[in-house]
Amino acid sequence: MNYKNRFTPTLTALSLALAAAIASQGAFASAFQLTENSAQGLGRAQAGGPAAPNDCSVVVNNPAAMSDFTTSCVMGTLSAINFSAKFNGSGTDFLGNPATGGNGGDGGTTLPVPATYYIVPINEQFSFGAGLSVPFGFQTKYDDRWIGRYQSVETKLQSPAVTLAASWKANDQFSVGASLIIQRTSANIVQDIDLGTILAVPTNGAVLPQEADGQGGLKGNDTAIGFGLGALFKPTPADRIGVNFHSQIDHTINGNATFRVPSNLLPLFGGAFVNTKGTADFDTPWFLNFGWWHDFDDRLSLGVTANYTHWSSFKQLVIDYANPAQAAFNAPDIFDYKSTWFGSIGGDYRLDSRWTLRGGVAYDQTPTRDATRDPKVPDNSRKWLSVGLGYKSSDQLRFDLSFTHLFVNDATIHDVSATFNTLDGAFKVYGNVLAVSGQYTF
């Protein structure tokens, strides 16, 4: 075999491997937007969304609806998100030999997602609110030495945000609101590197694919600012229509890239594979939420939601390296995400003055495409089935509990790593969310 002809761009392969690792945080945030910020809303599959009443989480879901509160409100929510991703398939190295290792176990995990909100009316027209939530976040981690280790070992993203909001009530039928969003994104990505593929030419075949593994990792973070706009319209005493816009937030991720390479092989890489700094522009997309809420009587209410998210703004990612040996081989990583819709219908049934039953269903599109999906984010479109229970212990204090199961379509994978390792198969994916909230008005 003519190794020289097939392995000329060895450092380019290394650069693309690290590029894929950094870029995965963009894929990560785009494919998994977290909306679990209220147990009340989750219990009806987010139906009604920015129009649903009596929920302090409107600080982030529609600041205009803060005008409904005539007294101060404080709320805390804790959601436990359980995600399972099990791979079934095979892989090959550059020479077509079967990939060594297992199927990676369950790449999913269970993560707590907290949120808290506060609303205070200033006068009959103006209200102020503040909130802490996590609009983006996800994590996958696979067994060591699995067949997809050159695509992903561990990916973790967290994007907590502080929201400061204000509303103005024009009259009993119409109000508007605006918010300032301070978002901090941090990421930790780890994947193995097939050094055997990269060294096949320099060693004249003495080292072959899968015979020498290294590992690359990246940690980075950035804080950036966005904004939100909201409106609430009440055309009749029984109807509420709400809309909420959340802006795109532009990040420049500053990170530290670290490598684990056998010491006897390190001199062969011409200054690459050493720890260095890197930056990359990464933007979370804008989205627009519509909600309608209708009270049929004093017991039954129904809500409908339609959300549009502009994922298509995330096409590619380019990384700038501090190490010249790495930066010289920089190249864009292509994702080509598509914009998506989320739709849900659900409602509340008040058993009596204290107890409320909730339920809802939803359909949530994925922005990922079969051609570019990888095991860092084994996502696909999913259906929601939600149930919830509310208990009002007094006029001021309320508790809510909800559960959602996500039926996720199988996520097919045909992914080729920067070192030409191929992973073919599909992920069996599902999710569960259990949330509890407490709300107090005073």
Q: Which of 297, 404, 324 is nearest to 358 (CA)?
A: 404
Which tens digits make up the pLDDT trace of 396-421?
A: 999 999 999 999 999 999 988 888 99
Q: Is the pLDDT of residue 327 over 70?
A: no
CA distance from start to end of the chain = 78
Q: Give the pLDDT band of residue 64 (cuts 50, 70, 90).
A: very high
* Two tokens, residue 53: 């009443």
Q: Which helix (H) or strand (E) holds 199?
A: helix 195-199
Report the percent of the chain where pLDDT is more than 70. Answer: 89
What are the domain boundaries of the chain? 3-441
What average pLDDT score do residues 78-85 get?
A: 90
pLDDT of residue 331: 58
Look up residue 283 and give its amino acid.
Answer: D
Q: Give the pLDDT band of residue 330 (cuts 50, 70, 90).
A: low
| Dist CA 91 CA 145 (whole Å) | 13
| Dist CA 133 CA 34 (whole Å) | 9
How far is C-alpha 115 from the chain's CA centre?
A: 16
Which tens digits make up the pLDDT trace of 243-276?
A: 999 999 988 888 888 889 898 888 888 888 888 8
Q: Is the pLDDT of residue 170 over 50?
A: yes
pLDDT of residue 14: 38
pLDDT of residue 333: 65
Q: CATH second-level architecture of 3-441? A: Beta Barrel (2.40)
pLDDT of residue 115: 92
User: What is residue 67's three-state secondary structure?
Assistant: helix
Q: Give the pLDDT band of residue 290 (cuts 50, 70, 90).
A: very high
Sequence-ordered list of residues with C-beta below 8 angstroms from that of 236, at least 6 positions apart, any chain: none
What average pLDDT score do residues 230-252 get?
A: 95
pLDDT of residue 159: 84
| Dist CA 130 CA 162 (whole Å) | 7
Pick from 208-212, 247-251, 375-379: least confident: 375-379
What average pLDDT score do residues 280-308 get?
A: 92
Q: Give the pLDDT band of residue 2 (cuts 50, 70, 90).
A: very low
What average pLDDT score do residues 342-366 get?
A: 95
What average pLDDT score do residues 210-238 get?
A: 93
User: Cα dihedral angle (125, 131, 133, 135), rounded to 10 degrees?
Assistant: 40
What average pLDDT score do residues 88-97 get?
A: 94
Q: Is the pLDDT of residue 222 over 80?
A: yes
| Dist CA 292 CA 52 (whole Å) | 8
What average pLDDT score do residues 210-232 get?
A: 92
Contact 233, 281 (CB under 8 A): no
Sequence-ordered list of residues with C-beta below 8 angstroms from that of 169, at least 6 positions apart, any chain: 67, 124, 125, 126, 127, 175
* Two tokens, residue 52: 């649903």
pLDDT of residue 12: 37
Pick from 219-228, 366-375, 413-422, 423-432: least confident: 366-375
The model's pTM is 0.84
